Structure 1
């Protein structure tokens, strides 16, 4: 016969409550051990190594989770740094793309000018190399 497990005011066993709270702290501090660190309830139960149903029975702990998320948002410090870096890199990419577009336009203009100069030079060379012979046309009597 098994002995019934003690259920705390959290709705779960003391060990489960400790696991959930420890997992919450690891996720909030950005030091997860078993997940990618996103602040989701799925990561909470996976990080605590309990079932989703067990986590859902711990309503007071979930209320703490929800209060923390409502107060501080869902992004961790690491995610905020990552998002800031992504924003910075996107701006840098946009500037480089604009610069590349301007350089491509300048290159096209230069190629057009070079082609026109080449055509003019070839025409001059052709006109210079022509040896013209004037042939008088006889008048009609």
Structure 2
């Protein structure tokens, strides 16, 4: 026994809505229960629509039970996860550069303080070039 053309049409439209992720009457999961509920027919009526059920089973076996919306969501989550990992790596590299810069700034601050102390400790008012670790020379300036 088969179903009427109107019933088959209702089941195929319900199947399309479920597959595309636009259900009207169900939660959208790709289950046979949702198929007959989405089509607004009884389970027994759906069971008599063998051609529709064969198409349903083929689709589910090829594509799984995830809807397009779920697949898109999962793809978006995967892309956001990839971007987060890249940004985390970038932040780690920037933090390392910041730490290195802070070390250099601390060394320069220490040298600056030593220069000020050296200049302040001289009572004759002469300006003396600080022995530079970069130039490797020591000169007095009058």
Match of 2:95 in 1: 104
Counterpart of 1:58? 47
Q: 2:106 aligns with which of 115, 129, 141?
A: 115
The residue aligned with 1:79 is 70
State TM-score, norm by structure 2. Answer: 0.60
Structure 2 unaligned spans of 5+: 124-142
Check 1:48–1:127 CA distance in 2 against 1; reply closer, same or farther (3 A cut): same
RMSD over aligned CA atoms reads 3.4
- Aligned 8 A contact 1:28 1:39 in 2: yes
Matched, 1:94 2:100: no
Conserved 8 A contact 1:45-1:55: no
Distance (whole Å) between structure 2 residues aligned to residue 18 and residue 119 of structure 1: 83
Cα distance in 1 for residues equivalent to 2:2 and 2:103: 81
Count of aligned positions: 121
Q: What TM-score results when the alignment is normalised by the length of structure 1?
A: 0.61
Unaligned runs of 5+ in 1: 1-7, 133-141
